[in-house]
Structure 1
Amino acid sequence: MAETSLILSWTFISECPIPQDVQELLVEGEQAVAAYKTIRDSAVFTNNV
């Protein structure tokens, strides 16, 4: 189980520009507010609760 927790966690390295292609994935009215570089990809936070 400890091995699984290592791959299920996020490591945010630094804030980065919001990827332009993320907008097409959001629902109507949802807006990307911040993005953070991770080890492999980026994580995007939105205003949708």
Structure 2
Amino acid sequence: MNGYFQAVGLPPDMWGAHTLRRTAGTRLYRATRDLHVVSDVLGHASVTTSAI
């Protein structure tokens, strides 16, 4: 994965699967404005976790 991160020009502090997961959750929330959808997609047991 590091090769892909480097290829798209991301700084090393943004390299990682968790960063991608957080970004996907944030983008999904911005598109839907529904934390329940984000929680379901990310597999969180609680909407509170998604809200972080």
Higher strand content, 1 or 2: 1
Higher helix content, 1 or 2: 2
| Shorter-chain TM band | under 0.3
TM norm structure 1? 0.24
Q: Which has the higher contact order (CA 8 A, sep 6+)?
A: 1
TM norm structure 2? 0.23
